[in-house]
Structure 1
Amino acid sequence: MEKQKFSARVKQAMGEASITNLYQLNGMVPVHKAIPFGLQHILAMFVANIAPILIVGGACGLAASDMAMLIQSAMLIAGIGTLVQLFPIFHKIGSGLPIVMGISFTFVSVLCFIGAQYGYGAIMGAVLIGGIVEGILGLFAKFWIRVIAPIVSASVVTAIGFSLLTVGATSFGGGSGSADFGSAENWILGSVTLLCCILFHIFAKSYFKQLSVLFGLVVGYILAVFMGKVDFSALRETSVIAVPHLMPFRMEFHADAIVSVVLIFLVSATETIGDTSALAASGLDRDVTPQETSGSIACDGFVSSLSSVFGCMPITSFSQNVGLVAMTKVVNRFTIAIGAVIMILAGIFPFFGALLATLPDAVLGGCTIMMFGTIVVSGLQMISKCGFTQRNMIIAALSLSIGLGFTECADLFAIFPRMVQNVFAQNCVAVVFLVSILLNLVLPKNMEAEKVTEQKKKKA
């Protein structure tokens, strides 16, 4: 009897420890408990991971078979990139943080331009070189990371959150370019999904609360099936298993294309810095370390170069998954690694990936709205931690107003060369980063002291 009681207490203690480990960076979590959290991350980013491929591939006139092959490669590369972030190579490439990687939207505009001018092979050549440049910059980040003060990172994180609100709203309406955008059906799907997420988070017990996004996605998906909003036709032509292709396109190297892509890689690096800072602040309640930032940037670059070998576009950290971590506080690396394995399986078994791709945009939008709002709040909290000094207020206020305001009026950049327009015209994060960096370098460090001295002089 005593042995049974002792055994029961041991099992209970182990169960509690595994639940606690969900909120710890390291530690093992039973696979059956880790799978739902890993799947939740994949569902949150799946559509956004393949959308850049569809847009750029369409602009380059790729065949449907080529597009299917690239989607397969995108899932494989996203899984590999996530594993590298979780478990750094040589303690240099990768952050060791629960960052989920995916194909970057930041490059879509410039890659569409390059693809239309030179063809898809030129995109691959430029990505190969650009990725190596960013990777090397990441390895030597300790020599230049000092110019990125905490208020700069906080402003960039806030900008990332605000920039994603439109993405969430667009998904809620049915997806950009959809024939029934903003229809009653999409409103119903998005609203029901969002409501299910909120109610599940309120009423669920223990660690199940953190599966609110997965619950909302499942309920929304089932409702979409009954409403006839899920298209299964693509599954009929999808093979069960396929081997990813190496070098499916012959690489071409054009100087202007390479320069343009390298500039966008610098922008992508700023987003990665912001994502890494936001994840450490919101998920781990601490500041990010220089080594983590350096490894995160290096992973972005070198895995992007690997991505080009598979014919795929650049990879970067996904802000929506940072928002998911901020909302659930589930930071366990093993748990996120399960999600990475699921992505790799989706790359090897195209049928599985095609099934995930049937998730309607409106359902995804219902879940992401709250997640993206969480990133905004995290950025504001980071600004608060920096302190509301006169100097910090000027940097945050001016960079955000210029970055968010000017990019809403893209015609403001019409007088600039095409390359500048590609980098800044529709990328508020890049503008916020540039303005905040410049202000941080130009504004006097002792503004508060000067203000106090002037006040004393006036009183005297």
Structure 2
Amino acid sequence: MSSMPQLLEDGGPVPSGSSYRGVMSPEQARDPDYFPGMAMAIPLGIQHVLAMFVSNLAPAIIVAGAAGFGYGSPDPSEMIYMIQMSMLFAGVATLFQTIGAGPMGARLPIVQGTSFAFLPVMIPIVAGQGVAAMAALTTAAIFGGLFHMVLSFFVGRIRFALPPMVTGLVVLMIGLSLMRVGVQYAAGGVPAVGTDSYGAAGSWLLAGTVAATTLALSFFARGIWSTASVLIGLCVGYAVAAMMGRISLEPVETVGWFMVPSPFHFGFALSASAILGFCLMGVVSAIETVGDVSGICEGGAGREATDRELSGATFADGFGTAIAAVFGALPNTSFSQNVGLIAITGVMSRHIVTVGAVFLILCGLVPKIGAVVTTIPIEVLGGGVIVMFGMVASAALSMLSSVEWTQRNMLIFGVSLSLALGLQLEPESLKHLPETLRVLLGSGVLPAAALAVVLNLVVPGRTEERVSA
């Protein structure tokens, strides 16, 4: 096992025609069913968890903050519960993918986690409404997950309507929608808006420390140091905050060591706008999962994904979302950063990801972990989410790079982006519409997706040459 540290440090792909660091052959590395042994599976599985850990928790923290029971609230217990459920059901949903059952699961090394894509829809649902609003949100997520499962049987047939121009626009809108949240966190959080402490130098010092550390590790480090750069950046920012006297461990001392998830923790409440929004975003999430599965198969195994793998992955996506929502967790989806990690390590074993999923489940049952997360100053978290949301937008630009930018495509993209972003920035323009339409059109993501899909289908194609930027 002396080769194991070298494996994680270098993180290189499998060399063609040679053994993998003397541990496995290239054929074994490309086989999803191959198990390399616990000595390799544990560190590689934990590496997968580190790659997605912060991104998995951030949506729960953001939703809790938008609802009004997040940072700065007198009782952080509900946010701790949401953080724990994010870890627990990310692990459970990952097992649905790696192990599978019947039509569920791609049986590939797919890591599931809490989805950023739904945030533009979730935030308006709970904004300033407190814990009570979570009932409508989680109920809608159950219906959205069930709809997502149904989509799995048709996902191959609707791909034609969602070319890279449309999916890239949707991902870009997700990133743009969240950037304001990142800056608000870095400046001191929404509760501090309008006060003298908002935007103070100390706040930006903490956020800047996290961002600078993350970027430095991403650019100059290798292996696990680069993979977990955001998490390490948060730890450095946390240490600086501790030296500034900004850390209180009281929440950690008051919670127990074990937490059991409770069904319908936030209650059950029907909201037509919320349900419709979750169902529509389910289409976006399904296409995202199709892209991740294709990336895993092409980057890790050098082949195209089968229809069975695509359908099974999407089914598990929806089922994982529905089950998580029953226990008060947010929607799940496949995580793209782990797709890149598989391409780096060159190891396709789904059993390695299964080990990581078990680790996540164990973390989800220990509420002191969630309590530690709540002690992180919001400015420290802001530095991390600024990087993460920026990467969402960067991923969108990467998707859009393959688009043929004819005059037709530029008009479709431009009009869709202009209207969707404008409606989100000026929600008062929708005040005369019914509540359902206000929530859906104000999300930014849904109007962008809907308009781009419709225009792409109805506007006839043209033969203009590519327009240079």
1:168 and 2:182 aligned: yes
The corresponding residue for 1:316 is 332
The CA distance in 2 between the partners of 1:119 and 1:404, in whole Å, is 25
The corresponding residue for 1:457 is none
Distance 1:410 1:277, change over 3 A: farther
The CA distance in 2 between the partners of 1:213 and 1:64, in whole Å, is 24
Q: Which amino acid aligns with 1:413?
A: L
Cα displacement (A) at 1:324: 7.9
Cα displacement (A) at 1:56: 4.5
The corresponding residue for 2:364 is 347
The corresponding residue for 2:150 is 136
Q: Which amino acid aligns with 2:145?
A: G
Distance 1:242 1:222, change over 3 A: same
1:268 and 2:285 aligned: no
1:152 and 2:169 aligned: no
The corresponding residue for 2:245 is 228
The CA distance in 2 between the partners of 1:10 and 1:199, in whole Å, is 25
Q: Which amino acid aligns with 1:266?
A: C
Mean Cα deviation higher: 184-193 or 149-158: 149-158
The CA distance in 2 between the partners of 1:10 and 1:85, in whole Å, is 26
**1:195-214, aligned counterparts within 5 Å?**
195-205=212-222, 208-214=225-231
Distance 1:416 1:213, change over 3 A: same
The corresponding residue for 2:202 is 185
Distance 1:82 1:231, change over 3 A: farther
1:52 and 2:63 aligned: yes
Q: Which amino acid aligns with 2:404?
A: G
Q: Which stretches in structure 1 are left out of the alignment for 5+ residues?
A: 1-6, 453-460
User: How far does the alpha carbon of each residue in 1:47-96 deviate from its partner, in whole angstroms, 9 at most, with x for none?
Assistant: 4324424654859x998766654543343223222333455443544694
Cα displacement (A) at 1:436: 0.6
8 Å contact kept, 2:206–2:240: yes
Name which of 26, 38, 62 aligns with 2:49: 38
Cα displacement (A) at 1:263: 0.9
1:388 and 2:401 aligned: no
1:441 and 2:454 aligned: no
The CA distance in 2 between the partners of 1:204 and 1:118, in whole Å, is 44
The normalised TM-score by structure 1 is 0.77
Between Structure 1 and Structure 2, whose CA radius of gyration is higher? 1
Name which of 389, 397, 414 aligns with 1:372: 389
1:80 and 2:92 aligned: yes
Mean Cα deviation higher: 132-141 or 82-91: 82-91
The corresponding residue for 1:102 is 114
Aligned to 1:101, what secondary structure does the other structure show?
strand
The corresponding residue for 1:428 is 444
Cα displacement (A) at 1:186: 1.5
Aligned to 2:275, what secondary structure does the other structure show?
helix
The CA distance in 1 between the partners of 2:4 and 2:53, in whole Å, is 33
1:401 and 2:418 aligned: yes
Distance 1:342 1:359, change over 3 A: farther
8 Å contact kept, 1:173–1:181: yes
Aligned to 1:38, what secondary structure does the other structure show?
helix
User: How far does the alpha carbon of each residue in 1:316-346 deviate from its partner, in whole angstroms, 9 at most, with x for none?
Assistant: 338xx64686699658666655554343223
Distance 1:164 1:330, change over 3 A: farther
Cα displacement (A) at 1:435: 1.1
The CA distance in 1 between the partners of 2:255 and 2:4, in whole Å, is 47
The CA distance in 1 between the partners of 2:47 and 2:364, in whole Å, is 19
8 Å contact kept, 2:68–2:130: no
Cα displacement (A) at 1:405: 2.6
Mean Cα deviation higher: 44-53 or 401-410: 44-53
Cα displacement (A) at 1:232: 1.2
The CA distance in 2 between the partners of 1:95 and 1:394, in whole Å, is 40
Query: Larger helix proportion, structure 1 or 2?
Result: 1
Mean Cα deviation higher: 81-90 or 222-231: 81-90
Q: Which amino acid aligns with 1:146?
A: F
The CA distance in 2 between the partners of 1:416 and 1:339, in whole Å, is 46
Distance 1:389 1:337, change over 3 A: farther
In angstroms, what is the RMSD of aligned CA positions? 4.2
Cα displacement (A) at 1:11: 9.9
Cα displacement (A) at 1:239: 0.5
Name which of 397, 404, 410 aligns with 2:427: 410
8 Å contact kept, 1:52–1:105: yes
The corresponding residue for 2:9 is none
- The percent identity for this pair of structures is 25
User: How far does the alpha carbon of each residue in 1:157-205 deviate from its partner, in whole angstroms, 9 at most, with x for none?
Assistant: 2222333333332332233324643221121111122222232334435
